[in-house]
A and B are shown apart, each in its own frame.
Chain A
Amino acid sequence: MSHKIVSKKQLSKDVFTAEIEAPLVAQARKAGQFVIISINNEYAERIPLTIAGADPEKGTIRLIWQRIGKTTAELADLQQGDEITNVAGPLGKPTHLENFGTIVCVGGGIGNAPLLPIAKALKAQGNKIISILGARSKELLILEEEFAQISSELIITTDDGSYGRKALVTEPLKECCQRNPKPDQVFVIGPTIMMKFCCEVTKKFNIPTQVSLNTIMVDGTGMCGGCRIEFDGQPKFVCVDGPEFDGHKVNFDLMMKRLNAYKDQEQKAYKQYKEHKCKIGLDK
């Protein structure tokens, strides 16, 4: 069964969103889960993408991705009406939902995409949501409006000060932690380095912090172990034990290195793809 792209939009320079037909996943998915997709059946790689939203009645899921390599670029080049061969999921454990009280949701860059459904679900549980969204610059900020709708407070930071506060997300996060009463729970999703530093902040205040990890995966069902991280000194599989973990126990340094395991090969493949695409352009 192929999966048709029902609609597609560019959110920022390298960030795209698409609604994709996947009725079973749309029915089953819960906040915090992801899918593994591959564009075709023969040579395409399998990549995990968080489900940013779903419409069970329409039978569609919403994916948001950043163009960083060959597969994400290929995906970005597909248009409305095109099809993706494989969408498997939903995978991973859903977010543990509970009325914790006040929750700070910290999103960075593309991390806002997986954070949104979690924040929505937490809001639906009766939690008060404070959102901190960070981006390198104004153009790279995504989903601001959606977060505004569910947050009792929305703090925007940019690295270059082109919008909101000129700061890293850790600054307002620290301020939130210093409030009285302090937040009951923190959720952080974004670049690994950002999650690491956010966890360092919240650890000092002893505030439970959940992170959602996006490691390299192949099957996504526990079979290969490629996604393993070091958690509290023990190996854990992001695909079946996660993707959400207690951020205070994750070895982020090792995770960052593992994410770069195929950097050279990935860059080579991406370069080849871009060059190939240029040649296609010349034919026209």
Chain B
Amino acid sequence: MTDKESQELLQQLLEKQKTGKLTPADRYKIPPQGMPEQDPITRRSNVNEVATGYTETQARLEAMRCLQCKTAPCINGCPVQIRIRDFIAAIADGNYKKALDVIKENSLLPAVCGRVCPQEVQCQQTCTVGLKFKDPTKAVSIGRLERFVADFDRNAGSDSVPSVATETGMKVAVIGSGPGGIVTAADLRRAGHDVTIFEAFHKTGGVMVYGIPEFRLPKAIVQKEIDTLTKMGVKITCNFIVGRTKTLEQLFKEDGFDAVYIGVGAGLPRFMGIEGESLIGVYSANEYLTRANLMKAYDFSSGADTPIAISKKVAVIGGGNVAMDSARTALRLGAEKVYLVYRRTEKEMPARIEEVHHAQEEGIEFHILQSPKRIIGDQNSHVIAIECLKYQLGKLDESGRRRPIPIEGSEFRIDVDTCIIAIGNIANPLIRQTTPGLKFNKWGNIVVDEETMATSVPSVFAGGDIVSGAATVIMAMGQGRIAAAAMNDFLAKK
């Protein structure tokens, strides 16, 4: 559709709506609005954001696709229960301010969530429109609409800072400035507590700045959220490693904190335990992305001091968002060939569908039903190839996906000079080593009461990946909000 056609369609629909004649059949007929994007060939060689965002007309048309179901099944699909139906209605009306206010009742970071949430397995999975077309990708594009509202507000230069209640005199420490830490800190500060965020890195934002690349989530967006926190009076201390710079106990005893939220993230990259994983040119996705994103290795020798492998052929192992991010980052760093090696099929990939499509459009070669058996190096211990086995899918396993089974004798070789392992993280042992009394499960994750996110140690709460293992930005935010509410209750009684 041309812009003009879109505008005309919108006018017709608005007329109908005014006279009460807009039927569900009319809504079904509105074409799903595609996301404007940088052309794949162009974007492979820049780090700018891939998806450029809906225009106003597109946003309102997409919003008109929403049936405004009485039951609003989308809301239950959202980990933080945003009143989706209502914010979409506000967009259809052109009242973006109201839409943002509705979202902000439940989510503080719509510009982030609109970009990185896996909507197709959350709100959009339960959307009636998607069910009608038997295709979640044809559901109302809730995430894109959420992003539109947040971007519209930001581009309009709005600078609203949430109001803060009268000072309570209670001191709260939030450990980690990732998505969970940010929402927890904001909710605690809104209640009038004196909040300090402790961050181990020299920059705030956690996985949103070291992990998720600029082309998917611009750093400026994350920075804006951090700036809002500072304007609210949240204090931020970087280069502070809780457990090492000070222990949890010291924060309570020496610094007089009344409560602590632990949101330190997952922490330790998982390796496969195969031969050759310590060769030069083998990276954890965490390391590769941190070098490329946070440390700006793409600017090496024209400013940045942090190097990264200069790669021609790269194999990325894994099928999640982090694997897609790594593969697409490798392309942008100049690799000629990037292979994504995954032991199941595309259907089982945990990555967002949109990221899978983007990766394929950009020319990432998918090697499904394959997994490395060993990594091969030359005499200088530089990676020269991976030896893979072919796989087939067996019965369902405990994750509800079909189990990959290696096919004996199916070994074959892929020549690469870089190999990035993106198969998840395990729990960081630092807090565990330095906090006696805190209970952990057998995987090293902190044990909490899920109603309150309270840990086994009084006044200590926790959430995000250190509790649930690797999950998503929105899960961490959801847990942060639960924890903040419980902490506010707890502090009010103190």
- Chain A interface (Cβ within 8 Å of chain B)? 1, 24-25, 28, 33, 38, 41-46, 70-71, 85-91, 93, 218-219, 221-226, 228-230, 235, 237, 240, 251, 254, 257-258, 260-262, 265-266, 268-269, 272
Contact = CB atoms under 8 A, between A and B. Distances in A.
A218 B292 CA distance: 11
A254 B277 contact: no
Contact of B300 (A251, A254, A265): A265
B165 interface: no
B267 A45 contact: no
Given A228-B278, A258-B280, A223 B269 contact: yes
13 contacts: A1-B237, A88-B239, A89-B245, A221-B200, A221-B430, A223-B210, A223-B290, A224-B269, A229-B278, A230-B278, A240-B428, A240-B430, A254-B278
A260 B305 CA distance: 16
B378 to A, nearest CB: 11
B295 interface: yes
B238 interface: yes
Interface string B283-313: 1101100110001100111011111011000
Main secondary structure of the interface of B (DSSP, over half): loop
B199 to A, nearest CB: 10
B132 to A, nearest CB: 44
Interface in B429-485: 429-430, 433
B301 A223 contact: no
B381 interface: yes
Contact of A235 (B245, B277, B301, B430): B277
Contacts of A1: 237-239
A250 to B, nearest CB: 12
Contact of B286 (A41, A43, A46, A224): A224
Contacts of B241: 88-89, 91, 221
A241 to B, nearest CB: 9
Nearest to B239: A88
B245 A90 contact: yes
B121 interface: no
Contacts of A38: 202
Contacts of A93: 433
A237 B309 CA distance: 20
Contact of B271 (A219, A225, A257): A225
A45 B305 contact: yes
B284 A24 contact: no
Given A28-B246, A43-B303, A269-B307, A222 B429 contact: yes
Complex A-B, nearest 3 residue pairs according to Cβ-Cβ distance, in ascending order = A224-B287, A88-B239, A45-B305
A96 B480 CA distance: 37
A43 B304 contact: yes
Interface in B206-263: 210, 237-241, 244-246
Contacts of B380: 257
A29 to B, nearest CB: 9
A34 B210 CA distance: 22
B284 A224 contact: yes
Contacts of A87: 239
Contacts of B430: 221-222, 240
A218 B268 contact: no
A91 B428 CA distance: 14
Nearest to A257: B381
Contact of B287 (A25, A91, A218, A272): A218
A28 B278 contact: no
Nearest to A260: B280
Nearest to A74: B305
A222 B268 contact: yes
B28 interface: no
Nearest to A259: B280
A93 B241 CA distance: 13
Contact of A272 (B201, B267, B301): B301
A251 B277 CA distance: 13
Nearest to B200: A221
Q: Which of B271, B286, B428 has the most CB of A within 10 A?
A: B286
A221 B243 CA distance: 11
Contacts of A41: 202-203
Q: Which of A44, A90, A230, A268 has the most CB of B within 10 A?
A: A44
Given A222-B267, A254-B381, A86 B307 contact: no
Contacts of B269: 223-225
Contacts of A229: 278
Given A43-B304, A45-B305, 5 more contacts: A89-B245, A218-B291, A218-B295, A223-B210, A228-B271
Contacts of B287: 218, 224-226
A24 B246 contact: yes
Contacts of A237: 268
A149 to B, nearest CB: 29
A183 to B, nearest CB: 30
Contact of B428 (A45, A86, A221, A261): A221
A43 B200 contact: no
B280 A46 contact: no
Contacts of B201: 88, 219
B278 A86 contact: no
Contacts of A85: 202
Given A86-B239, A91-B241, A240 B429 contact: yes
A41 B296 CA distance: 11
B307 A89 contact: no
B91 to A, nearest CB: 37
A43 B304 CA distance: 4
Contacts of B246: 24, 28
A240 B430 CA distance: 7
B381 A258 contact: yes
Contacts of A224: 269, 284, 286-287, 290
A257 B284 contact: no
Given A28-B245, A91-B244, A218 B306 contact: yes
Q: Which of A71, A235, A240 has the most CB of B within 10 A?
A: A240
Nearest to B426: A222
Contacts of A218: 287, 290-291, 295, 306
Nearest to A35: B239
Given A45-B295, A45-B306, A221-B200, A261 B280 contact: yes
B429 to A, nearest CB: 6
B307 A262 contact: yes
A272 B299 CA distance: 14
B273 to A, nearest CB: 8
B268 A223 contact: yes
A84 to B, nearest CB: 11
Nearest to B296: A43
A89 B429 CA distance: 16
B300 to A, nearest CB: 7
B268 A86 contact: no
B427 to A, nearest CB: 10
Interface string B170-211: 000000000000000000000000000000111100000010
